[in-house]
Structure 1
Amino acid sequence: MKILYGVQATGNGHITRARVMAPALAAQGLEVDYLFSGRPPEQLFDMQPFGDYRCRRGLTFQYGAGGRVKAFATLCNNSVWQLWSDIRTLDLSGYDLVISDFEPVSAWAARRQGVPSVGIAHQYVFNYDLPGRHQGRLTGGAIRLMAPVDTAIGLHWHHFEQPILPPLIPPPRYPATLEADKILVYLPHETRAQLIDWFSRFADYRFVVYCDCVEPRVQGNLEFKPFSRDGFEQDLASCAGVISNSGFGLTSETVQYGKKLLSKPYRGQVEQLSNAEIMQQLGLATVMRGDCDLLQLKAWLQQPNPAPAPYPDVAAALACWIAEGHREPAATLAKRLWNDHAAPSALTAGA
């Protein structure tokens, strides 16, 4: 079976999922080509698992200070004509299946050319009824408009009595340790000056900040580091807590390593607002009130860490499911995987 795997590269979580799926698909003897869109190629890193991958412009969001989505800039920086050209010229002859991690070019090309498609992404959970006040604003229609697929597999921290799978993340590569004064920070849309203003007030802690920089740099009790998948996971394994936005992938890895989380959702980004509300109800994180409430930050720093909560091997199960023609109902696959993981009990279905 020959597969084209399309990945929305705007967020690192999509790429991380593809990194997990790549060896699992290869282990099933499947031939896979990869296509990435939504980020300039020069901004991609640690791409060795994907071989001779391709890039397209695709669609992406533009963010302002504090992570607020800039609607007008997003509209101006996305070209519908280029998107249509990329969809129309992507030749899928010779492919038996398209997998889309919420990637529009491959998904729409598959729809136009009649190639079977499977969607594997967190965003596909919005096809189902989720708890919270934000879910209704991101409808299944919007999801289908962005990246339509024949079979959609959604991923979340709880099944909510729906055919939703656990998070698709790599198993821990490092033992979970604890450096009590070390806090890992990933807030890519905050300015360096803003981060220094917030965290320099807590001199008893070391804040390890991953950001868009060329060389590591220490400034007071903040250490700025360039993006590195391996370095980031090592710091995640040893830190006393994580401060990040409300992305799905990093939150899942934080839960798996048993680290407390202080989460700052992007303003105006419905997916992140929904994530923040659900993770708070599930007891997975403390959600920031506004930009940065220093009293809230101080209280969070003093909280203990939860126990690690490893997720099952979702990648291996999905790769086998795909190799066997994805005939097993998604609900059956989901039930089997959740039986291997103790889902959070703080939120009951329909709450």
Structure 2
Amino acid sequence: MKILYGVVGEGMGHAIRSAVVLKWLLDQGHQVQVVASGRAHAYLKSRVPRVDQIWGLTMAMEHNQVRRLATATDNLRGALEGWPSNVRRYFEMVGRFSPDVVISDFETWSWLFAKVHRIPLICIDNIQLINRCWHDDAIIGQEMDEFLLAKSIVKAKCPRAAHYVITSFCEPPVRKKRTSLVPPILRPEILNATPTHGEHLLVYQTSPTFSDLPRLLAGLQRPVYIYGLRREIQEDQRQGNLVFRPFSETQFVEDLASAAGVIASAGFTLMGEALHLRKPFLATPVGGQFEQLLNARYLHELGYGTYSRSLGPNDLVDFVDELPRYRQALQSYEPRDNSALFARLEELFDLAESGILRSRRVRWLGWGDAAK
């Protein structure tokens, strides 16, 4: 089967998870053409063949907060050069690759290609959880306006696909047809890791907002391995109980598998990996990204950890004190591999070959019903 696979470039989690799916597709003998924007392009180009670069939307960040005006301005500027480039890529693709199925990881170029050519479209991502599942009032909280805004954006991103496969560590009720929930997509390094119970905390933070975090962590009286805050370093730097580390995938997985707990943003990829290894998690959701707040609140509701929107010394002390309770709750979390996702894809591919799997049409492209 010929498959066009689109990967959004904002946030490396999409690229990391897509690489796992792409390897499986290639191992199954499928012909795959990838289009990716941003950092996802470089990441995937070094791991799979046939990766084309396209322009995609970006987010402007400051103080661990999405800046909406700056985001809009940056994307308008980028579109002046990006859209013509995307149009060129489109016509190049039409001339050399005719896919049977399109897969989109929250990526719009591939979605548009599928719609124009009426090719079955499968969406694989975690963000559609916002729109296609029911969420209790405790999860939405006081941020109803933020939730509705995020829901409208997600709904408009890749509307009326043939099927939505949502990766999730929680299981809220599905409210829309053509939707499947599967466990988080995990790298082989995580699946092959053996969790142990060390004393250290693993911290992954890249935002300058957390420049004061080392001073707070120094008071915890236990080892702390910190990634991201000193991105320019080439070797470990020790400062009391703190160890600043350059990024190494092998070392990072080892530190994660042996950690007592994890402190990081509420991004889905690392959270899913930590829960698979049954590691308590203190999340610091990025402001203006309701998807991260959603992850953090489900984490808290399930008892696997907690979250703080303005991390302070009391949050760190409370997290350490509650580690035994979080570890106990995590005993109920069932570590699972990627087999459920792969089995669902095989079923969807069979439906596509038989002509049963079809994407819904959208009126504003010139046919069918309005997006739902």
Q: What is the TM-score normalised by the length of structure 1?
A: 0.83
**What amino acid maps onto 2:120 in structure 1?**
P
SS of 2:252's equivalent?
helix
Question: Residue 168 of structure 2 contacts residue 182 of structure 2 at CA under 8 Å; is this kept in 1?
Answer: yes
**What amino acid maps onto 1:217 in structure 2?**
D
Q: Which blocks of at least 5 consecutive residues in structure 1 are unaligned?
A: 331-351
Q: In 2, distance between residues paired with 1:328 and 1:126?
A: 29
Is 1:194 equivalent to 2:212 in the alignment? yes
Superposition pairs for residues 173-322 of structure 1, below 5 Å? 173-180=192-199, 182-191=200-209, 193-211=211-229, 212-220=231-239, 221-288=241-308, 290-302=309-321, 303-304=323-324, 305=327, 306-307=330-331, 309-312=334-337, 313-322=339-348
- CA shift, 1:87, in A, is 4.2
**What amino acid maps onto 2:343 in structure 1?**
A
Aligned residue in 1 for 2:98: 94
**What amino acid maps onto 1:196 in structure 2?**
P
Aligned residue in 1 for 2:62: 64
Q: In 2, distance between residues paired with 1:223 and 1:47?
A: 32
More helix by percentage: 2
Question: Residue 216 of structure 2 contacts residue 312 of structure 2 at CA under 8 Å; is this kept in 1?
Answer: no
Is 1:146 equivalent to 2:125 in the alignment? no
SS of 1:175's equivalent?
coil
**What amino acid maps onto 1:88 in structure 2?**
V
Aligned residue in 1 for 2:28: 28
**What amino acid maps onto 2:148 in structure 1?**
R
Q: In 1, distance between residues paired with 2:79 and 2:48?
A: 27
Q: Deviations over 1:86-113 (max 9, x none)?
A: 4433224422221110012222232233
**What amino acid maps onto 1:70 in structure 2?**
R
SS of 2:287's equivalent?
coil
Question: Residue 183 of structure 1 contacts residue 240 of structure 1 at CA under 8 Å; is this kept in 2?
Answer: yes
Distance 1:316 1:7, change over 3 A: same
Question: Residue 199 of structure 1 contacts residue 207 of structure 1 at CA under 8 Å; is this kept in 2?
Answer: no
Aligned residue in 1 for 2:167: 155
Q: Deviations over 1:102-138 (max 9, x none)?
A: 0122222322333321110011122322232257424
The structure whose RCO (Cα within 8 Å, separation 6+) is larger is 1
Superposition pairs for residues 129-140 of structure 1, below 5 Å? 129-131=134-136, 132-133=139-140, 134=143, 136-138=147-149, 140=151
Distance 1:108 1:236, change over 3 A: same
SS of 2:191's equivalent?
coil
Q: How well do the aligned residues superpose, as a CA RMSD in angstroms?
A: 2.7
Higher Rg: 2
Identity of aligned pairs, percent?
26
Question: Residue 55 of structure 2 contacts residue 83 of structure 2 at CA under 8 Å; is this kept in 1?
Answer: no
Q: In 2, distance between residues paired with 1:298 and 1:8?
A: 37
Q: What is the TM-score normalised by the length of structure 2?
A: 0.78
Question: Residue 260 of structure 2 contacts residue 279 of structure 2 at CA under 8 Å; is this kept in 1?
Answer: yes
